[in-house]
Amino acid sequence: MRSYEQYCPLARALDMVGDRWAMLVLRELFFAPKRFTDLQTRLDGIAPNLLSRRLKELEARGLVARRPSDDGRTSLYEVTDVARGLEKAMLELAKWGIQFLGSFEGDEPFAIEWLIPVLEEMADRAAAAGVHDVYEFRLGGSAFWVHVDDGDVRVRPGHAPGTVDLLVETDVDTFLSIGFGALTPEDAIASGRARAAGDLTLAERALDILAPARTFSRLSAV
């Protein structure tokens, strides 16, 4: 195992997960256990031999475990309790990194699950105080929904299980443009880039709670 050989907790942490792709492998396994082929699909661009090497290294370091799948024909990889301690640190790193995303050009892999934990973590609980709303967002073939309950904000993948107060259908680029303040919901709807149903007056409130641009502006004003 390569090492920085420094008696420093940050250096030790990077010894464990600092190799290329290692943290993205763990990101995928935090969502759910996966087969090797599942990881290949989700981590577009990683060579099979490199993925195999990273999984073996993470196993050896006690961060990933392997068990038989339900059908017994393949193996499932999952994170260990030791790795779970890294989840919050990775979320904080993702929150910091969201400001560097830039515009979505459409030629990079994207999965809504990569954004959901950050949206939930960064949601403005003060703006959500006294609010009882359910929003659903459909982005191409993906969807997620948001339950706001008097300051508590939960963001989950898939379709909302019941009636929603606001439904928005758009593409990833438009959704991110609105979230980062480059496009208003009104302009997106007027141009046909987004469609909305339900109580349209809730769009501004949803943005106050969820939009990264508004969160960053409030943080910079403190």
Q: What is the mean pLDDT of the chain?
A: 91
- The residue among 26 and 73 whose pLDDT is bigger is 26
Largest CA distance in the chain: 58
b/e code 44-54 from CB counts within 10 Å (16+ = b): eebeeeebeeb
Q: Where are the beta strands (DSSP E) in the chain?
A: 64-68, 75-79, 132-139, 142-149, 152-157, 166-170, 194-198
**What's the CATH code, domain 9-85?**
1.10.10.10
Q: How, if at all, do strands 152-157 and 64-68 pair? A: unpaired
- Give the per-residue pLDDT at 222: 41
Q: Are 171 and 185 in contact (CB under 8 A)?
A: no
What gap in Å lies between CA 95 and CA 82, rounded to an integer? 22
Q: Residue 220 above 70 pLDDT?
A: no
- If you average pLDDT over residues 5-29, what whole number do you get? 95
- The rounded percent of the chain whose pLDDT value lies above 70 is 95
In the CATH scheme, what architecture does the domain 112-221 have? 2-Layer Sandwich (3.30)
Q: Both tokens of residue 108?
A: 């990079």
Other Cβ atoms less than 10 A from the Cβ of 97: the count is: 10
φ, ψ at 203 (rounded to 5°): -60, -45
For the stretch 29-45, pLDDT in tens is 999 999 999 999 999 98
d(CA 207, CA 185): 9
What's the whole-number mean pLDDT along residues 5-33? 95
Which three-class secondary structure state does DSSP give residue 110?
coil
| Residue ranges, CATH 3.30.1050.10, the chain | 112-221
216 has pLDDT over 70: no
The closest of 189, 196, 143 to 166, measured between CA atoms, is 196
CATH 1.10.10.10 occupies which residues in the chain?
Answer: 9-85
